[in-house]
A and B are shown apart, each in its own frame.
Chain A
Amino acid sequence: MRPRIVLHIFRKDLVETLRDRRTVVMAFVVPALIYPLLFTLLGSVVTDKRGELERTRARIAAWGPVPEDTLKAVEQQARAEIVDRRALPPPEPELEARTLVAAKKVHVVLLTPPGTSGPSTPVRVLADSTNVDSDAMERRVSRALTDHAAELLRRRMTALGQDAAAATPLDVREEDLADAARRGASFAAALLPYLLLVLVATSGFYAALDLTAGEKERGTLQTLLTAPVRSVEIVAGKYLAVLALTLAATVCNLGSIALTLSRATAAMEAGARFSLGLSSAGAIFLTVLPAALLIVALLMAVGVLARSYREGQSYLMPILLLVMVAGFASFLPGAELTAGTALVPLLNVTLLVHDILVGKAGATQITVVWAVSLAWAVLGILLAARVFQTEQVLLSGEKPWRDVLSPGLRQARGLTPGNALAFAAVLLVLTFYGSVLVERRGGVIALILVSQLGFFLVPSLLWCRLFRVPLRDTLQLRWPTGRGWAATVLLAAGGWSVGAVVWAQLLRFPGARAYSDWLGELLGKQGPLELGTALLLVALLPAVAEEVTFRGVVLAGLRRSGSRWIAVVGSALLFGLFHVNPYHVLAATAVGLLLGWVALESGSILPGVLIHLVNNGAQVLLDRIPALAERLQSPLVLVLALATTAAGGLLLRGSRRPAPEEPPGPAPLPLASP
């Protein structure tokens, strides 16, 4: 895959889509207008209704021998007026009451059956809970009746010479612990996740449709297929264009919704206030990002199956409905983010956004949902890439799904960027859930052993076997040259010192410190580990297993993209992602960049294993010798370490043994005439 060609396709598709008024209006203009209009209208309707109810006197019917002092108390306390007084109730009082309420003649009927005697007078309050006015007035009248009953009891106690206060053994007062901001956040948390997901889907809907089914219908997709571009470049360019539009529209609309809710929440929910801070908005955007990656991939994969714009609308509608169903979880009171729900695509994002808004979500939750969502997104992107490689789909043939699912196409030609990503996605899910299970049952030693061997090394070897690729070439099991080894020693010596200094700086951040403490606690759970055991578990095992996985299988697959940049950066990002904690992800990604580059330059996996081993081993030693760790925190050490690393890097360049020629890349074709 050539990034510059992807960029050309991306730019063209972006320009073309932005010139399509329908897409721009549906993605940007309509939502930007609809939300303020909708919420302002709803808010004003709710506020007006609330004010109207407060101003209106309750219209009461009193049937039968309802005590006069009770009616007076209701008239005063509930701001009511008796509009229908009857000594005897009608033969069917419920039916008559329903008719009067429906005709808006009364809000509530008070009924005391004739012939009532004794110290307790029954008073039935007849109201219609489906009628907003009647329901509100019933609450007002009932409260007045309850207060009046308490007053009557106090009077009777006094008449009997008792202390009136004894009539109120419990003085109950309700007080809401949630302040206005929390009430506002709770209100928004029910609404915003749903709106966000639906926004992402609707923002990408028309752009995806236009660039897939629309292009097929207009015949321009076939024009593109005649150009010397690979299908993976086409799908990447189009995907990025739809994603960029979707994210831009989502950001605009998120801002619009946040502003609207900040104004409308108080009107919609009495005593509530809502404002979306920048950090929360950022966290929400990052949470929604992998969901957007998945939704756009699905829209593209399904959209391109359609032969016309109209057909595409029918095909994409189920995806929109699925997104709506997943987003609807935010309205369900019992739905919570658990290990199970974190696995369900889109639903996990809904629940996490909800938790972020109510202040329940932590960094680990965010990272786990992000990683799982990303794994789903990768699978979605692979599906889209596969569909775009099916000629029957691109040429509007009959039964395109038959070709998409045909075993002929399923058999991959060795490791490819697609199956490297699929492999990483499978490992990500396996590692996360497997780790939870193993940690609960087996403790830290079992956890490291199982994860390194069971989740990395063995699956990597099985993956190579499944795709029938030679281990020696795929994993680059070659002995480096003498110069390569010399460079490796310099890189290992300089690299871990730089790493130690950088990690020490990262530990200043509370999140990184908490993670480091947790790791230390985990490693010390079963008593301090022997140095040899610690080096084996934390240094040697990961150095071998993780290098085989990331600089072996993943790098080999990504190299087939034809771009060294994509191979190194992609494998480093995936390597980083497996380290869960955001600070550790950053550090591991940086290490991954170095290790990926070393693997390509040296043509061997072994230098990476040594650098990885030294890096992790040094961490174990530094944990045990704090004095040494402190000594390393000097500018001189950092300069020396950087110089050593740079020297190692320079020495490594061009040190690899001559290898068989790789497939030639596209060569520029000279123009026959200017």
Chain B
Amino acid sequence: MIEARGLSKRYGEVVAASDVSFTVSPGEVVGLLGPNGAGKTTVLRMLAGVLTPTSGEVRVAGHGTEGEAFHLKRALGFLTGDTALYQRLTPREVLRYFGRLHDISEAALAPRIEALVARFRLSDFADRQCGKLSAGQKQRANIARAFVNDPPALILDEPTTALDVVTGRFLLEAFREARAAGKAILLSTHVLGDAEALCDRVVLLHRGRVLDQGTIPEVCARAGAQTLTEAFLARVGDEVAA
């Protein structure tokens, strides 16, 4: 469903990503893990059609990045720390706006918005301007925004960072439901506990390259570690500390 084939991105002499390849199948959650500066955001942006790869290919639900990644974006829900909400619009207005940008008919959009408001428990603040919401409320509204087109594929970058435990748990449960509904989810996170709890497979990225990928037991075994945290530290920890 989500495919990265030999993705590379260069800015002059700087290599932000090099020959990155992995796939995410329908009904699967894959964790993209790596320290700060590993190139995760660059890879996610290329997968979302926001950034053009220097080389390599992206496919999401069979669509590539040709034609301004138009069809690819229609099949994708994308959320990163950089994708904020409009401060002077309400969550309901944001959902309506993005629904319209996805060309959803007005007749289908209204019940869709109400379903999202109910699913992500937005009703208490759905008509309050986003600038006046708490961090948790904003993140729930933003995730609802990523679901507005009911995409078959989701890319979520740090969706639970800076959230309280209750909201974090609530969102993880929502992602599990999405996986059960057959969606392909690529999850980038620093919270390795979340990755262990949710991910079917992980991709370990460091300095723009894929160090390892597989199920968590496979990655742990190859690193000679008991937990994902130990495996992560074993593969990249020393270099980062140095």
A residues within 8 Å of B by Cβ?
Answer: 5, 8-9, 12, 15-16, 19-20, 218-220, 222-231, 391, 395, 397-398, 663, 666-669, 671-674
Contacts and interface: CB of A to CB of B under 8 A. Distances in A.
B78 interface: yes
A194 B9 CA distance: 49
B89 A16 contact: yes
A66 B88 CA distance: 78
B67 A663 contact: yes
Nearest to B84: A219
B101 A227 contact: yes
Given A230-B68, A669-B102, 12 more contacts: A5-B100, A5-B103, A8-B101, A9-B101, A12-B86, A16-B88, A226-B73, A226-B78, A228-B102, A230-B70, A391-B51, A672-B152
B231 to A, nearest CB: 31
Contacts of B162: none
A548 to B, nearest CB: 29
B89 A673 contact: no
A663 B71 CA distance: 13
5 contacts: A8-B100, A224-B101, A225-B50, A226-B48, A227-B73
B70 A397 contact: no
Nearest to A215: B86
Q: Which of A398, A667, A671 has the most CB of B within 10 A?
A: A671
A231 B50 CA distance: 11
B202 to A, nearest CB: 24
Nearest to B45: A395
Contacts of B78: 226
A579 to B, nearest CB: 36
Contacts of A674: 108, 111-112, 115
B71 A228 contact: yes
Given A226-B76, A228-B73, A669 B89 contact: no
B150 A671 contact: yes
A669 B108 contact: no
A223 B83 contact: yes
Contacts of B239: none
Contacts, number: 101
B30 to A, nearest CB: 19
B228 to A, nearest CB: 28
B181 interface: yes
A312 B142 CA distance: 27
B75 A218 contact: no
Given A663-B67, A666-B74, A220 B50 contact: no
Given A15-B89, A395-B50, A663-B67, A220 B102 contact: no
Given A222-B50, A669-B149, A671-B112, A227 B98 contact: yes
A231 B68 contact: yes
Nearest to A232: B68
Contacts of B86: 12, 16, 218, 220
B164 interface: no
Contact of A220 (B84, B101, B181): B84
A162 B60 CA distance: 112
Contacts of A395: 45, 50-51
Interface of B: 11, 45, 48-52, 67-68, 70-71, 73-76, 78, 80-89, 93, 97-98, 100-105, 108, 111-112, 115, 129, 145, 149-150, 152, 181
A219 B80 CA distance: 10
Nearest to B61: A669
A549 B152 CA distance: 46
A552 to B, nearest CB: 25
A223 B101 contact: no
B32 to A, nearest CB: 17
Given A395-B50, A395-B51, A222 B88 contact: no
A664 to B, nearest CB: 9
A228 B84 contact: no
Contacts of B75: 669
Contacts of A398: 11
Contacts of A12: 86, 89, 93, 97
A397 B87 CA distance: 23
Given A219-B83, A222-B82, A671-B108, A20 B73 contact: no
B85 A222 contact: no
Contacts of B84: 218-220, 222-223
A8 B103 CA distance: 10
A308 B145 CA distance: 24
B50 A391 contact: yes
Nearest to B152: A672
B69 to A, nearest CB: 8
A12 B82 CA distance: 20
Nearest to B66: A663
Nearest to A391: B51
A222 B80 contact: yes
Contact of A223 (B49, B85, B181): B85
B149 A226 contact: no
Nearest to B129: A19
A228 B82 contact: no
A224 B74 CA distance: 12
Contacts of B149: 669, 671
A663 B98 CA distance: 25
Contacts of A669: 74-75, 102-103, 149
Contacts of B52: 391
B34 to A, nearest CB: 19
Given A8-B100, A666-B71, A218 B87 contact: yes
Contact of B101 (A19, A218, A228): A228
B101 A666 contact: no
Q: Which 3 A-B pairs have the closest CB atoms?
A: A219-B84, A228-B73, A226-B78
B75 to A, nearest CB: 7
A211 to B, nearest CB: 11
Q: Which of B67, B70, B103 has the most CB of A within 10 A?
A: B103
Contacts of B97: 8, 12
Nearest to A13: B86
Contact of B181 (A16, A219, A224, A673): A673
Contacts of A225: 50
Contacts of B81: 219
Contacts of A223: 83-85, 145
Contacts of A222: 50, 80, 82-84
Contacts of B88: 15-16, 19-20
Contact of B102 (A9, A224, A227, A673): A227
Nearest to B48: A226
Contacts of B112: 671, 674
Contacts of A227: 73, 98, 101-102
Given A8-B101, A672-B150, A666 B89 contact: no
Contacts of A391: 50-52
Q: Which of B73, B76, B115, B181 has the most CB of A within 10 A?
A: B73
B87 A671 contact: no
Contact of A673 (B70, B98, B145, B150): B150
Contacts of B80: 222
A9 B101 CA distance: 8
Nearest to A18: B88
Contacts of A229: 101
Contacts of A219: 81-84
B209 to A, nearest CB: 21
A229 B97 CA distance: 12
Contacts of B70: 228, 230, 666
A229 B78 CA distance: 14
A532 B87 CA distance: 69
A613 to B, nearest CB: 39
Contacts of B73: 226-228
A425 B9 CA distance: 37
B67 A668 contact: no
Contacts of B145: 223
A54 B142 CA distance: 71
Contacts of A667: 71
